């Protein structure tokens, strides 16, 4: 299985024996062959999502980077880890909000790849 997420406007992907509704911020698992075909047929409309669920328990107090469909690339400190997301103080809206784990991105300054000055 491969996790795929819609980028941009929602759409329905249909194939001979099934269909799935793709909506930004709601990743779906598809069989590898279907996911690969969709990535090939709809470049720029879907992307492969790398799972970060195993790392999430160590994120409280860490600065994370995520890609928001509305605001683009953002960073904030994790306040709390929830079942399917993290609670942060949003840098633009200046309110607490939940960020889906699937939006998190690896970056040199995130908790996924520690940045150690002088090394």
Other CB atoms within a 10 A radius of the CB of residue 41 amount to: 10
Token pair in block for residue 72: 């683009």
* Among 60, 88, 61, 84, CA closest to 74: 88
Q: Is residue 96 part of a domain?
A: yes
Which residue's entry shows tokens 């269909």?
19
Torsion of CA 27, 4, 47, 21, to 10 degrees: -70
Mean pLDDT across 89-96 = 90
Average pLDDT rounded to a whole number, residues 53-59 = 56
pLDDT exceeds 90 at position 23: no
The answer to whether residue 116 is domain-embedded is: no
Residues 42, 62, single domain; the answer is: no
**CA pair distance 18, 7, nearest whole angstrom:** 21
CATH number, position 61: 2.30.30.140
* Any domain includes 13: yes
| Residue-level pLDDT at 97 | 92
User: Is residue 71 located within the same domain as residue 37?
Assistant: no
What is the span of the domain harbouring residue 32? 2-48
Residue 88's CB: how many other CB atoms inside 10 A? 22
**Statement to judge: residues 73 and 39 lie in one domain:** no
pTM of the model: 0.47
Q: Mean pLDDT check: name the lowest of 5-14, 23-32, 101-110.
A: 101-110
The pLDDT value given to residue 88: 92
Tell me: pLDDT of 59 over 50. Answer: yes
- In this structure, is residue 111 part of a structural domain? no
Mean pLDDT of 75-98: 88
Q: Which of 30, 27, 33, 66 is nearest to 49 (CA)?
A: 27
């Amino acid at each position: 299985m491969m996790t795929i997420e819609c980028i941009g406007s929602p759409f329905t992907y249909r194939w001979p024996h099934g269909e799935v509704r793709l909506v930004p911020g709601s990743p779906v698992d598809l069989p590898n062959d279907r996911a690969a075909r969709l990535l090939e047929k709809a470049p720029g409309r879907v992307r492969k999502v790398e799972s970060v669920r195993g790392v999430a328990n160590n994120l409280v107090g860490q600065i994370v980077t995520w890609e928001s469909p509305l605001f683009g690339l953002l960073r904030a400190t994790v306040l709390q880890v929830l079942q399917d997301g993290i609670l942060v103080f949003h840098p633009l809206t200046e309110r607490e909000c939940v960020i889906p784990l699937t939006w998190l991105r690896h970056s040199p300054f995130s908790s996924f790849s520690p940045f150690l000055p002088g090394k």
